[in-house]
Amino acid sequence: MNDFSNANVLLEVKDLKTYFKTDNGILKAVDGVSFTVHEGETVGLVGESGCGKSVTNLSIMRLVPSPPGKIVGGEVIYRGSDIMKLSEKELRSIRGNKISMIFQDPMTSLNPYLRISTQMIETIRLHQDMTKQEARERAVTMLKLVGIPSAETRIDCYPHQFSGGMRQRVMIAMALSCNAELLIADEPTTALDVTIQAQILELIKSICERFKTAVILITHDLGVVAGMCDKVCVMYAGRIVESAPTDELYEKPSHPYTRGLIASVPKMDGKKEEKLFSIEGQPPNVIDLPPCCPFHPRCDKTCEVCRHAYPPVKEVGKDHFVACWLNCSEEERQAALNGGSN
């Protein structure tokens, strides 16, 4: 994997907090997430369903449906300016132009009532000064690039006339048609057949390398991350519990949750009788979470302090950050315990 630590920082997320107001209380979907993306880097965001991966990325684009959602704190700095403070108009000039998104379900993400050509051309003309004809040509080029056969004619079809994989290709073509600098891919392959999944991932990888586009890849599949990403952030219950360069993470997973995740990936070379590893229990309900490590009920190395305070983030290696009490000194734990019980 490449080392991007010297490249320019493209996007920096600092202590992002997004809460949802629900009938049962405040749901802290994202609770203090920080990470950085460098130019051309591919960052993986991994976690179980409901841990806040998608909300994090919607928050970056300020697309969280409000109400009930609200971004209550934090900064998202894109090329020096804070997206959270931009005006609606400035924000629009970034969306789809500098930062694009592709979504989980290609079946519903394209407007079923408009032709592909309409949807692509409008995107291109929105951000670039082109005539309709030029925009159409650009769209056809992009479609060809993502591997749509006979793109000149297919461009005038409606989304329902495409298969799921093809639609996701169209989405990718549309997202990259304005030369975005950052592509946020929100579980782009979850809704697709296994055979198509690999193709789509390969497509994202190659096309982003070609355009030098940075990628935030949201997934729950560690296998995908290993093949694609330069850096991985593991999320649990609205927070990042461990982040590290991919190789480092696989070699030295420091958080029990990460270890569990890696252990539960099925291995081809495993013995047949061997039972698949799984993490016991389920992720917590993030409404009214008491101050504690949210993973402690499922953790096999729980100690007293885990029940009473959230662990601080520690750097355990180069660019390798972990939030776990196991990496803290005894004094720190004692201090937290005393502080927490007062």
Partner 1 sequence: MTKYIIKRLIGMIPTLFIIVTLSFFIVRIAPGGPFDGERALPEAVKRNIEAKYHMDEPLLMQYGRYMFDVIRGDLGPSYKYKDYDVNTLIAGSLPNSIVLGSMAMAVALVFGISLGVLAAVKQNTLLDYIPMCLAAFGLSIPLFVFAPLLQQVFAMTLGWFPTTGWFMSSDAPLRTALLPTVALSFAYYADIARLTRSSMVETLRSDYIRTARAKGMKNSTIIWKHAMKGAMLPVVSYLGPAFAGILTGSIVVEQVFLVPGLGKFFVQSSFNRDYTLIVGVVIVYSVILIVMNFIVDIVYAYLDPRISYK
Partner 2 sequence: MALLKKNKKNESATNEFDQVIVGTSLTKEAWKRLQKNKLAVVGGIIVIIYALVAICADLLPLYPYDQAITSHRNLRPSLTKTAGELMLEQEMKNLFFQAWRGGRLEVPDEEDALIEQWVRESKTNKVWDLLYERGMAALEDGSFTWSSSEQRRIDNVLEDIETETLITIDSVSADLGDGMKRIDDMSYDELVSLYAGLLGTDVATVESSLYNEVSATVSNELRANDSTLSGEDLTASIEMEMDAMGRDGFENRASQNLVAYIEQLAQRGASSDVNALISSGDAVLPYKGVFDLSSGLHVELEVSRMHDRHYYCGTDYLGRDLLSRIIYGSQISIAIGIVGTVTSIFIGILVGALAGYLGGKVDYYLMRFVDIMYGLPYMLLVIICMAIFGRNIVNLFFALALVSWLTIARMVRGQIMSLKNQEYVEAARSMGAGTMHIIFRHMIPNSLSVIIVYSTIRIPAFIMQESFLSFLGLGVQAPYASWGSLIGDAVSSMSLYPYKLLIPSIVMVVFLFSMNFLGDGLRDAFDPQSKNQL
Judged by the rule CB under 8 A, the positions of this chain that interact with partner 1 are: 61, 63, 65, 91-97, 100-101, 103, 105, 108-114, 122-123, 126-127, 158, 160, 171, 174
Q: Decide: helix, strand or coil at residue 273.
A: coil
Minimal distance in Å, beta carbon 207 to partner 1? 18
Question: Cβ contacts of residue 243 below 8 Å, gap of 6+?
Answer: 35, 231, 232, 233, 234, 319, 320, 321
285 scored as a contact of partner 2 (CB under 8 A): yes
Q: Which one of 52, 238, 284, 311 is in contact with partner 2 (CB under 8 A)?
A: 284
Task: Name the binder of 335 from partner 1, partner 2, none, CB < 5-8 A by kind.
Answer: none
d(CA 298, CA 277): 14
Minimal distance in Å, beta carbon 32 to partner 1? 24
Minimal distance in Å, beta carbon 139 to partner 2? 33
d(CA 33, CA 235): 9
Task: Name the binder of 61 from partner 2, partner 1, none, CB < 5-8 A by kind.
Answer: partner 1
Sign of the torsion formed by the C-alpha atoms of 298, 302, 305 and 311: negative
Question: Cβ contacts of residue 326 below 8 Å, gap of 6+?
Answer: 254, 256, 301
d(CA 30, CA 13): 12
Minimal distance in Å, beta carbon 102 to partner 1? 9
Residue bearing tokens 């519990």: 241
Among candidate residues 164, 162, 209, 221, the one with its CA nearest the CA of residue 183: 209
Task: Name the binder of 300 from partner 2, partner 1, none, CB < 5-8 A by kind.
Answer: none
Task: Name the binder of 289 from partner 1, partner 2, none, CB < 5-8 A by kind.
Answer: partner 2
289 scored as a contact of partner 2 (CB under 8 A): yes
Instruction: By CB under 8 A, name the binding residues for partner 2.
Output: 23, 281-282, 284-285, 288-290, 297-298
